[in-house]
A and B are shown apart, each in its own frame.
Chain A
Amino acid sequence: MRARRVIGVLLAAGLVAAAPAAAAPTPRGTPRGALARQGYHLFGEYCLGCHGANAAGRANEPPYATGAGPLRNQVQQGGIGPSLHGVGALAADFYLRTGYMPLPQVGLQPRRRQPLLLDERQIRALVAYVASFGGPPIPKPKPWLGSLSQGMQLFAEHCAGCHQIVAQGGYVTGAVPPPLVEHGITATQIAEAVRIGPYVMPKFTPEDLSNRQLDSIIRYVLWAKSPHHPGGWGINFLGPIPEGLVTWFLVLPVLVGCCLVLGRRLRT
């Protein structure tokens, strides 16, 4: 009884301590919490140059303000990095665990990087620091609750246009939608990407795609890592045009051989 009361008091104290952090995030200076404090220093080391002091972003500065000379593709750019206020642990976790950030150069499309530049503890610290500015938490998808067939339907409707129907990736003018079946892509990362819309990807809010629908999509993407291919030779599931090309490369020698066999020279 007494132990329970102590736990209750502790819980209440914890809530009281956590409440101001959640309601009024510390906008300036060193944040509370050891992890977030470590993240604050890491932020200064890796992120400050583009995302600005206190993660407020540097949206209206010319790119050469970073100190590097303007590159050709930077000339028209009117900013360096967005503010991280309100993006939350969700975005920080996604960008750091995929290796999208730190970005090697402003204006590049972020690409998956293996191995990661930051280790596990550094990532957790930075996520805690970015989360201290408020925003959504890291999602916890449950793909096993989703429906595979509904997932395929939703994927075909919302994702396959850019990412190809078995998630092999594709092209958009000005960007490269990455393949989703690479090693190391987790259900959490997929859920985060859908909610953020990294780079030029559209953003899908819970009103557009419910969490259950998202579970179905994730289940389908995880399934697409090893899809059925009854034909035997999938050729990376690239679609009918590469398959046709391969067929032609195989058939053309046979056709040339036929011509030679039919021709006169072989028999004289």
Chain B
Amino acid sequence: MNRARATIISGLVLLLGRGRRGPGRGPQGAARRPQKPGAEIAVLLLLGASALSAVGFVLCYAFANDLPAENQLLGATLGLAFLFLAAALIVVGLELVPSEELVDEYPPLEHPGEQQALVEALEEGGSRFSRLGLFKLGLAGAGGALGLALLAPAVSFGPLFRVGDFLGTPWRRGRRLVDPTGRPYRASEIQPDNFYDAFPEHLSASQKEQMAAPVLLVRLPPGSLRLPPKLRDYPAAGGIVAYSKICTHAGCAIDMYRAPLFQPVEPTPAFVCPCHYSTFDPATGGTVLFGPAGRALPMLPIYVDPQGYLRAKGTFDGPVGPSWWGVRIYRQHAE
């Protein structure tokens, strides 16, 4: 309520007070002010608190799995770090930076001597900092710790340390495709107009982390497949095709499948990624129909074994997962 009133008042003042200036003060008015050790200490304390909060964020991020309310803690620590930094800067702005309003008459002063005097007066009225070095150290500490806090999550991003999860593939020739509960898929279970999540059988713990593990299975009318020559023998008998579940744009899990009931008047079958609506055509080798994805969805070659189970023939035809530098050279499948 109070804040709202202050906001309204300040807004009005801002509008009405346009163009007005405070009472002019001559160069001589800039008298030397007493230093303010209290304010300085407050600033240093606030900067220290900011640095501590940022370090706290890094610790929370590192041990996020063991904390009861990690999201709230992450938010609170990072928020406090910024809040303390802002408070420190406010104190600096209000208490420590000399503020003199000088009215500069137009045309500007012509006498170099007076300009000299003005500069001297400014410099004399200058600094209220007695321990400038310490202050700089505090600022650098807060800034550095905050920077670290912002960079810390990036460590989990890139293929910097664990390249295997990005580049490795658990798919080998003869490996069966299983559903999320580990039950092997029979080809007869794959119904048309539906889609199925599949994983390789007997995943090791390290393979479970690999981005290439999850695939999408659909059955299309065999006559509707228009695959490029390279992918001709990728589908299993009966028009069952398998694609990586990871979108090639930003690495989201594709969980939408367009399955038209009456194809002549409805959109064609397509995988749709929920993040940015990249749309892939399963009938033409996963080519991009729409959206920001830069390359086709990698396709997994599969076959039906004599017992009727689905098995992989090998691994994908291209790199799985989001595109980063160098991956786009594997462009769309050649026509």
A binds B: yes
User: Within 8 Å of chain A (Cβ to Cβ): is B274?
Assistant: yes
Judge whether B191 and A203 touch: CB under 8 Å. Answer: yes
Judge whether A171 and B277 touch: CB under 8 Å. Answer: yes
Judge whether A161 and B274 touch: CB under 8 Å. Answer: yes
Report A51-77 CB contacts with B as 1/0, cut-off 8 Å: 000000001100100000000001001
Given contacts A173-B272, A202-B195, contact A257 B3 (CB under 8 A): yes
Find chain B residues with CB under 8 A from A161 CB.
255-256, 274
Report A178-195 CB contacts with B as 1/0, cut-off 8 Å: 000000000000000000
User: Within 8 Å of chain B (Cβ to Cβ): is A81?
Assistant: yes
Find chain A residues with CB under 8 A from B265 CB.
63, 74, 77, 79-81, 106-107
Find chain A residues with CB under 8 A from B9 CB.
266
Judge whether B259 and A203 touch: CB under 8 Å. Answer: yes
User: Within 8 Å of chain A (Cβ to Cβ): is B264?
Assistant: yes
User: Within 8 Å of chain B (Cβ to Cβ): is A205?
Assistant: yes
User: Within 8 Å of chain B (Cβ to Cβ): is A199?
Assistant: yes
User: Within 8 Å of chain A (Cβ to Cβ): is B154?
Assistant: no
Closest chain B residue to A257, Cβ basis = B7
Report B1-34 CB contacts with A as 1/0, cut-off 8 Å: 0011011011101100100001000000000000
User: Within 8 Å of chain A (Cβ to Cβ): is B283?
Assistant: no
Find chain A residues with CB under 8 A from B180 CB.
157
Judge whether B191 and A208 touch: CB under 8 Å. Answer: yes
Given contacts A173-B279, A266-B9, A268-B22, contact A79 B191 (CB under 8 A): no
User: Within 8 Å of chain B (Cβ to Cβ): is A7?
Assistant: no
Interface residues on chain A, size class: 35 or more
Judge whether B270 and A173 touch: CB under 8 Å. Answer: yes
What separation, in Å, do the CA atoms of A199 and B266 have in the docked complex? Answer: 7
Report A202-213 CB contacts with B as 1/0, cut-off 8 Å: 111101100000
Judge whether A257 and B6 touch: CB under 8 Å. Answer: yes
Closest chain B residue to A200, Cβ basis = B258
Find chain B residues with CB under 8 A from A260 CB.
6-7, 10-11, 13-14
Smallest Cβ distance from B190 to chain A, in angstroms?
10
Smallest Cβ distance from B262 to chain A, in angstroms?
4
User: Within 8 Å of chain B (Cβ to Cβ): is A16?
Assistant: no
Closest chain A residue to B194, Cβ basis = A202
Find chain A residues with CB under 8 A from B270 CB.
173-174
Q: For chain B residues 215-253, which have a beta carbon within 8 Å of chain A?
A: none
User: Within 8 Å of chain B (Cβ to Cβ): is A262?
Assistant: yes
Smallest Cβ distance from A71 to chain B, in angstroms?
11
Smallest Cβ distance from B279 to chain A, in angstroms?
5
The residue among B191, B264, B266, B267 with the most chain A CB atoms within 10 A of its own CB is B264
Find chain B residues with CB under 8 A from A175 CB.
258, 266-267
User: Within 8 Å of chain B (Cβ to Cβ): is A8?
Assistant: no
Smallest Cβ distance from A190 to chain B, in angstroms?
17
Judge whether B256 and A198 touch: CB under 8 Å. Answer: no
Judge whether B259 and A202 touch: CB under 8 Å. Answer: yes
User: Within 8 Å of chain A (Cβ to Cβ): is B261?
Assistant: yes
The residue among B3, B192, B262 with the most chain A CB atoms within 10 A of its own CB is B262
Given contacts A257-B7, A257-B10, A260-B10, contact A81 B262 (CB under 8 A): yes
Find chain A residues with CB under 8 A from B257 CB.
202
Q: For chain B residues 58-106, which have a beta carbon within 8 Å of chain A?
A: 90, 93-94, 99
The residue among B90, B257, B279 with the most chain A CB atoms within 10 A of its own CB is B257
User: Within 8 Å of chain B (Cβ to Cβ): is A263?
Assistant: yes
User: Within 8 Å of chain B (Cβ to Cβ): is A234?
Assistant: no
Find chain B residues with CB under 8 A from A199 CB.
260-261, 266
Find chain A residues with CB under 8 A from B324 CB.
none
Smallest Cβ distance from A42 to chain B, in angstroms?
21
User: Within 8 Å of chain A (Cβ to Cβ): is B193?
Assistant: yes
Judge whether B10 and A266 touch: CB under 8 Å. Answer: yes
Find chain A residues with CB under 8 A from B259 CB.
197, 200-203
A-B contact pairs, 20 of them (CB 8 A): A59-B262, A60-B264, A82-B261, A157-B180, A173-B290, A174-B258, A197-B261, A200-B258, A200-B259, A200-B266, A203-B192, A208-B194, A254-B7, A257-B4, A257-B7, A260-B10, A260-B11, A261-B7, A265-B10, A266-B6
7 extra interface residue pairs, beta carbon distance < 8 Å, beyond A161-B256, A174-B258 = A79-B262, A81-B265, A106-B265, A200-B267, A201-B261, A260-B10, A266-B9
The 4 A-B residue pairs whose C-beta atoms are closest, nearest first, are: A79-B264, A257-B7, A260-B10, A161-B255
